């Protein structure tokens, strides 16, 4: 039985979909695990066990992630807190995987930006914040690692305001300097939450609520300093206003020590109360489709290898409008063909279970959906297509070959799937042949991921030969013979049919361009017309 528009609207209002973004090593995966712990989705936080008994964090499920201690692919976790459903999308922090992070940001309604208390704003943090700004995505800022030595809190807020052009509005304030985290002051109640660590930080930290008098008695100077600093910020107008936050003009700020589970419950409460529920999505023509309209969904990620036993392929779809029911026959926006949704699952890290229904803001994993690609739209009822996602301009290029020619079938299968996922872009040419494709990447770590997965998921060990190119531009069929014949230049075809001209450097590109008709070399534009080359 299909849900009424009122039912869909009510269910959508309970959803909060958000991404956690940060520079590498800011503690993003640890915070993700801590949020899952506080939402009682897991019994212990694997990120903070001692080395002897440590298990991988639930959001870092690839063996390469667990071995290296970094996030290299996004992950989806669904948590329920009281009556609110949280769809948490963990993202890679490393700049080499920024394209994957951008895809995730296209599927959420809010972002949690994590800063290291000692390092403050770092280059990748700035890039990710700018991506949120372009999309108008509201951002909650978390200053993490307050259990370690770091900067002054007022200096960190000043840096946020000066470098991001966004007014930081503290929702709480640390009692104790960085490295001596006693608890947080709540300006709304003028009370203090005092934290006590648990063994190994594997379980929820003990909390004690203190009124102002008791906080002053126990913490003296540290409490008075916190009160004075917060009064200074309040006097300067740095107070949370929901409308300003939703308009992305301000960013609420909280302080945590995720590895100890200090301040995590406060962050969870802020997300459930402040993050916006799903809103109407705009189609390719800029027309909004309300959340209570007939079903529509947007594929923002494709992942293979989540189940090593079956080597299946999962398309992650954000529900944009209406109610999703497992088994419903939808229309594939790109081809107009029917699409069967019999194998639909909810995903928690690597773990999955069958899902029967979903609402706007939820993420559905469609298993073995080989017809679906990143940027595809599925819909029921009136046709709709949402804007496709951009392909970033690659800056690193390498030829890849199978070491064992007897494994060429597995090699080609692996290359095709990694290309569909967007792990790398794959470029081919008649001159190089199908067995020697060129991998194109934003950063070199993508090559490591690709070759690792080719070997361990597809049994195809490879040889990688870096190429001396550093610049990519779109080109035309008429210009291809002239460009392809130049020294330091080459034209290949991306698997979506785009002709891509590669050059060793900007000087070589400029020299070649002077000999070509106008418009022969074009930037690697994204779908909104912005140059991301």
pLDDT digits (tens, 9 = 90+) for 385-404: 999 887 778 899 999 999 99
pTM for the model stands at 0.83
The answer to whether 93 is annotated as binding is yes
For residue 199, what pLDDT is reported? 82
What integer is the mean pLDDT of 31-44? 78
Q: What is residue 227's three-state secondary structure?
A: helix
Render pLDDT for 137-162 as a digit per residue (tens, 0 to 9): 999 999 999 999 999 999 999 999 99
- What count of residues does the chain have? 533
The answer to whether 365 is annotated as binding is no
For residue 234, what pLDDT is reported? 95
For residue 8, what pLDDT is reported? 97
Rounded to an integer, what distance in angstroms lies between the CA atom of residue 106 and that of residue 300?
7
Residues of CATH 3.30.70.3280 domain(s) within the chain?
A: 396-522
DSSP H helices, 337-493, are 408-421, 445-458, 480-484
CB 61 within 8 A of CB 80: no
The answer to whether 370 is annotated as binding is no
Rounded to an integer, what distance in angstroms lies between the CA atom of residue 93 and that of residue 75?
12
Q: How confident is the model at residue 527 (pLDDT cuts 50, 70, 90)?
A: very low
Residue predicted with more confidence, 380 or 197: 380
The answer to whether 433 is annotated as binding is no
Render pLDDT for 351-379 as a digit per residue (tens, 0 to 9): 778 899 999 999 999 988 888 988 999 99
- Is residue 282 scored above 70 in pLDDT? yes
For residue 101, what pLDDT is reported? 78
Let me know if 506 is exposed, middle or buried by CB neighbors in 10 A (0-12, 13-18, 19+).
exposed
Q: What is residue 195's three-state secondary structure?
A: strand
Under CATH, domain 12-74+92-274 is a member of which superfamily? P-loop containing nucleotide triphosphate hydrolases (3.40.50.300)
What integer is the mean pLDDT of 109-130? 91
Q: How confident is the model at residue 333 (pLDDT cuts 50, 70, 90)?
A: very high
For residue 15, what pLDDT is reported? 97
For residue 525, what pLDDT is reported? 56
Residues of CATH 2.40.30.10 domain(s) within the chain?
A: 281-379
Q: What strand order describes the sheet that includes 167-170?
A: 75-81, 84-90, 15-22, 110-116, 139-144, 250-255, 167-170
Q: How confident is the model at residue 261 (pLDDT cuts 50, 70, 90)?
A: very high
Average pLDDT of the chain?
Answer: 87
- Of 111, 137, 114, give the one whose Cα is nearest residue 246: 137
Phi, psi of 184, deg, nearest 5: -130, 145
Percent of the chain scored above 90 by pLDDT?
62
Q: How confident is the model at residue 304 (pLDDT cuts 50, 70, 90)?
A: confident
- Is residue 74 scored above 70 in pLDDT? no
Residue predicted with more confidence, 530 or 485: 485
At the topology level, CATH places domain 396-522 in Alpha-Beta Plaits (3.30.70)
Residue predicted with more confidence, 524 or 261: 261
For residue 51, what pLDDT is reported? 31
- Is residue 236 scored above 80 in pLDDT? yes
End-to-end C-alpha distance for the chain, whole angstroms: 48
For the record, the structure tokens of 461 come out as 């060990």
| DSSP letter string, 314-379 | EEEEEEEES-EETT-EEEETTT--EEE--SEEEEETTEEEE-SEE-TT-EEEEET-TT--TT-EEE
Rounded to an integer, what distance in angstroms lies between the CA atom of residue 505 and that of residue 470?
6
Residues of CATH 3.40.50.300 domain(s) within the chain?
A: 12-74+92-274
Rounded to an integer, what distance in angstroms lies between the CA atom of residue 181 and that of residue 177?
6
Q: How confident is the model at residue 65 (pLDDT cuts 50, 70, 90)?
A: very low
Q: How confident is the model at residue 422 (pLDDT cuts 50, 70, 90)?
A: confident
For residue 170, what pLDDT is reported? 98
Residue predicted with more confidence, 58 or 425: 425
For residue 29, what pLDDT is reported? 83
CB 231 within 8 A of CB 190: no
Under CATH, domain 281-379 is a member of which superfamily? Translation factors (2.40.30.10)
The answer to whether 276 is annotated as binding is no
Ranking 55-59, 235-239, 265-269 by mean pLDDT, the lowest is 55-59
Rounded to an integer, what distance in angstroms lies between the CA atom of residue 477 and that of residue 457?
36
For residue 98, what pLDDT is reported? 64
Rounded to an integer, what distance in angstroms lies between the CA atom of residue 410 and that of residue 433?
16
What integer is the mean pLDDT of 447-455? 89
For residue 216, what pLDDT is reported? 97
CB 135 within 8 A of CB 106: yes
Ranking 50-64, 216-230, 325-339, 443-457 by mean pLDDT, the lowest is 50-64
């Amino acid at each position: 039985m299909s849900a009424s528009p009122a039912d869909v609207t009510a269910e959508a209002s309970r959803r909060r979909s958000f991404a956690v973004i940060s520079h590498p090593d800011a503690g993003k995966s640890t915070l993700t695990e801590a949020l899952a712990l506080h939402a009682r989705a897991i019994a212990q936080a694997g990120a903070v066990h001692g080395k002897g008994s440590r298990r991988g964090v639930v959001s870092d499920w690839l063996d390469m992630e667990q071995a290296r201690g970094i996030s290299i692919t996004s992950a989806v976790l669904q948590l329920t807190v009281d009556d609110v459903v949280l769809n948490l999308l963990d993202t890679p922090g490393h700049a080499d995987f920024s394209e994957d992070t951008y895809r995730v940001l296209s599927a959420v309604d809010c972002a949690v930006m994590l800063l290291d208390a000692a390092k403050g704003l770092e280059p990748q943090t700035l890039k990710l914040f700018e991506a949120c700004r372009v999309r108008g995505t509201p951002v909650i800022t978390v200053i993490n690692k307050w259990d370690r030595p770091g900067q002054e809190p007022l200096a960190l807020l000043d840096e946020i305001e000066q470098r991001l052009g966004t007014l930081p509005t503290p929702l709480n304030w640390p009692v104790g300097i960085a490295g001596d985290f006693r608890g947080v002051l709540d300006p709304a109640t003028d009370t203090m939450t005092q934290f006590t660590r648990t063994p190994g930080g594997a379980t929820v930290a003990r909390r004690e609520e203190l009124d102002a008098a008791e906080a002053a008695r126990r913490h003296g100077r540290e409490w008075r300093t916190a009160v004075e600093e917060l009064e200074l910020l309040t006097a300067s107008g740095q107070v949370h206003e929901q409308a300003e936050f939703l308009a992305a003009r301000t960013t609420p700020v909280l302080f945590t020590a995720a590895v100890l589970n200090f301040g995590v419950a406060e962050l969870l409460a802020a997300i459930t109360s402040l993050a916006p529920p799903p809103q109407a999505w705009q189609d390719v023509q800029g027309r909004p489709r309300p959340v209570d309209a007939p079903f529509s969904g947007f594929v923002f990620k494709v992942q293979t290898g989540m189940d090593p036993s079956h080597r299946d392929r999962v398309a992650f779809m954000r529900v944009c409008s209406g109610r999703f029911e497992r088994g419903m026959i939808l229309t594939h926006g790109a081809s107009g063909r029917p699409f069967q949704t019999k194998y639909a699952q909810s995903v928690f890290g690597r773990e999955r279970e069958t899902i029967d229904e979903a609402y706007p803001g939820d993420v559905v994993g469609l298993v073995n959906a080989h017809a679906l690609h990143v940027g595809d739209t599925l819909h029921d009822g009136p046709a709709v297509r949402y804007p496709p996602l951009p392909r970033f301009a690659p800056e690193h290029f390498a030829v890849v070959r199978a070491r064992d020619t007897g494994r060429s079938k597995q090699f080609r299968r692996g290359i095709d799937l990694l290309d569909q996922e967007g792990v790398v872009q794959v470029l081919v040419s008649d001159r190089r042949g199908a067995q020697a494709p060129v991998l194109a990447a934003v950063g070199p770590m993508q090559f490591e991921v690709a070759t690792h997965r080719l070997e361990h998921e597809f049994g195809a060990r490879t040889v990688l030969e870096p190429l001396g190119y550093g610049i990519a531009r779109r080109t035309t069929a008429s210009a291809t013979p002239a460009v392809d014949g130049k020294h330091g230049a080459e034209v290949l075809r991306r698997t979506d049919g785009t002709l891509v001209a590669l050059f060793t450097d900007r000087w070589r590109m400029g020299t070649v361009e002077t000999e070509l008709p106008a418009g022969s070399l074009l930037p690697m534009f994204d779908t909104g017309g912005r140059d991301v080359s």
